[in-house]
Structure 1
Amino acid sequence: MEPWEAEVSQQPVVEVEIGSLSLSGSPRLAGERAEHIQSLAAAQDPLPPITVHRPTMRVIDGFHRLKAAGLRGERTIAARFFDGDEAAAFVLAVQLNVTHGLPLALADRKRAAERIIVTHPLWSDRKVASVTGISPGTVGEIRKLVGRESEPARRRLGQDGRLRPVDGSVGRILAGGLLTANPDLSLRQVARAAGISPETARDVRNRLRNGEDLLPGQRRGKTAGRPDEQPASRKEFGPLVIAAPGGVRRRGEPAADRAVLLKRLKADPALRFTETGRSLLRLLALHSVRNEDWEAIISNVPPHCSDIVADLARQFADLWSEFAVRVKEDVAQIG
């Protein structure tokens, strides 16, 4: 239940002059249904209280009941007041008209979703869907058509009231690093630290155990586009540059080549069936994301964390560089 729903349910029922109420702003595009009004007017039972926006005296819920009371010749009607802003009043009107009484038509619900996306841009597709009674996928399509956001939101408010990133790649990579460094962490601890759900943390843990990519194929498909579709002003994150011993620098393998090599390593029984081998595969999988995913991670690093992240990245680069040298030396000594 949203805070404004609880607020309304706790309000006392009072008698309000029918002539003082406004019927503007209804989420019903086609207006009221005459037959429904007549059936309510003919009923002998008292009409349930309507909901009224106190600042504007607009009817939030109960258009048909108000008309029916007028047909009965009544001059007042039982009502509860709502004191929130107009955006919240519209959301409440939609939610109340979806969950009881004469349901809103599909066209009404889609139009309502469009308006709510504009007034509540941080709301997730699922949260908007829960209010309007349409599917999250339909809300996502409507969001694309609305196109009112000057800058796409990086985080959205879910049904549980928590803000989560739209692109979960950053959280998945961070969770992978946490689990690799400390496998004994609970899923809730990882989820809290990485800003993801416990279920996503569970998926990351399972992928690490299986030596799989931390980013699901579907998510990658959303971030990766054709090269000729990328904005011209965007700075591309090219092949990795690795510091080698003696100050010599060489370019790393392109992302596609790295993926092929990693896949070959995953198929090697000497790595798959030993604990140290699986640990190595998990570490390598952390760095096997595509260039587009690296771009998403870079652009989503909070400014106040950038210095720490950059310093850790340099330290890890040095560790990998030393690792590469020692691996080559050990092979040479064995040979």
Structure 2
Amino acid sequence: MLPADSPRLSGEKIEHARLLAGVGVLLPPIVVHRSSMRVIDGMHRLEAARMRGDDTIAVRFHDGLDVDLFVLAVELNRAHGLPLSRADRRAAAQRIIESHPEWSDRRIASIAGLAAATVGSIRRCSTVQSEQSNTRVGKDGRIRPSDGGEGRRRAGELLTENPAASLRDIARAAGVSPATVGDVRARLARGETPDIRRQPVVAAAGAPDVPHENAAGAVGLMTSLKRDPSLRFTELGRVLIRLLDCSSMDVKQLDDLVRSVPPHQRATVVRLAHERAGVWRTFADRLGRESDTEMRSA
């Protein structure tokens, strides 16, 4: 058998193989590409079998395409066993962007265990960036515009030109879902812009305006964070997830909270909210600078 095209930048950990060799139970089968006999997943288990002097090892054969083998290796390594480091996952995302440039950031993020925004930043710095189209294939196999805002703006133009057109016809022409067209139509009826990211939210007096985020997108980002083993398996990572999760809210929730504050406590709540917002802005700035430094040194 040929060794794996491993997503682990530093290769296999001999200590982990020794740990598996000492386990007194039958280990799961390794995964091997049938036509090439290359190991896709299970190099630690294979080494453990060698250490124990085993003559045979359980194998599950895979018959997929060569171009998809690395993707499968990343998925399987993330699903069990020794977690991939953040550097491993970023490097894996870079390789998948190069081998599958038509895949969406969210789809690659779900495979590599990163946030979609992180994959987007890696893509923007990729050498294949200029060769990529303006569409992406999502996890469900559907083709969508790489810029969701552009699709929304196109849907808004088409609705203005032909308000009697069906949601499906507009969706097909704009490259978005019928549900998105329905949302764009409702936003236009309220006098708002089609693109959610361009719609401002009224902030508290004296506070800076902030962009209104797509609630579904925020939920997706939180889901990615919660699934990231480098966060959920560390104490500080879990604290960060809890803090971000408990501070997530949509416009309606903001309105409800504003109405819930009694008049005699408004000044206190405003002051505390500004202070907390300042802490989060400082955190975001520092994290952004760290990311910029990593990207420059990569």
User: Highest CA radius of gyration, 1 or 2?
Assistant: 1
Specify the SS of the correspondent of 1:76.
coil
**Contact 2:30–2:42 under 8 Å retained in 1:** yes
| Residue in 2 that maps onto 1:172 | 152
Taking structure 1 as the reference length, the TM-score comes to: 0.54
The match for 1:145 among 110, 116, 125 is 125
Q: Which moved more, 1:149-158 or 1:109-118?
A: 149-158
One-letter code aligned to 1:97: N
Distance 2:165 2:132 in 1: 36
| Residue in 2 that maps onto 1:36 | 16
Distance 1:129 1:85 in 2: 21
Matches within 5 A, 1:10-89: 21-89=1-69
| Residue in 1 that maps onto 2:183 | 203
| Residue in 1 that maps onto 2:105 | 125
One-letter code aligned to 1:155: T
Give how far 1:97 is off.
Answer: 0.3
Distance 1:50 1:151 in 2: 36
Specify the SS of the correspondent of 1:146.
coil
Change (3 A) 1:87 1:159: same
Distance 1:49 1:130 in 2: 24
Specify the SS of the correspondent of 2:77.
helix
| Residue in 1 that maps onto 2:95 | 115
Give how far 1:150 is off.
Answer: 4.2
One-letter code aligned to 2:62: F
The match for 1:157 among 126, 137, 141 is 137
Give how far 1:218 is off.
Answer: 4.4
Specify the SS of the correspondent of 2:133.
coil
Distance 1:121 1:177 in 2: 29
Q: Percent identity?
A: 54
Distance 2:197 2:105 in 1: 21
Give how far 1:216 is off.
Answer: 4.1
Distance 1:173 1:29 in 2: 42
Change (3 A) 1:142 1:171: closer
One-letter code aligned to 1:131: I
Change (3 A) 1:194 1:65: same
Distance 1:170 1:155 in 2: 11
Distance 1:152 1:46 in 2: 45
Does residue 135 in structure 1 map to residue 118 in structure 2? no
Give how far 1:53 is off.
Answer: 1.2
Matches within 5 A, 1:316-335: none
**Contact 1:82–1:89 under 8 Å retained in 2:** no
| Residue in 1 that maps onto 2:237 | none
Give how far 1:189 is off.
Answer: 5.8
Give the paired residue count: 198
**Contact 1:110–1:134 under 8 Å retained in 2:** yes
Taking structure 2 as the reference length, the TM-score comes to: 0.61
Give how far 1:188 is off.
Answer: 5.3
Give how far 1:36 is off.
Answer: 1.6
The match for 1:215 among 189, 192, 195 is 195
Distance 2:163 2:83 in 1: 51
Specify the SS of the correspondent of 2:131.
coil
One-letter code aligned to 2:156: G
Specify the SS of the correspondent of 1:115.
helix
**Contact 2:136–2:144 under 8 Å retained in 1:** yes
Specify the SS of the correspondent of 2:58.
strand
Change (3 A) 1:122 1:139: same
One-letter code aligned to 1:87: V
Q: Which moved more, 1:197-206 or 1:46-55?
A: 197-206
Give me the CA root mean square deviation.
Answer: 2.3
Give how far 1:27 is off.
Answer: 1.1
| Residue in 2 that maps onto 1:276 | none
Q: Deviations over 1:57-80 (max 9, x none)?
A: 111111111011111111221111
| Residue in 2 that maps onto 1:327 | none
Specify the SS of the correspondent of 1:164.
strand
One-letter code aligned to 2:99: T
| Residue in 1 that maps onto 2:222 | none
Q: Deviations over 1:29-57 (max 9, x none)?
A: 11222222122111121111110012221
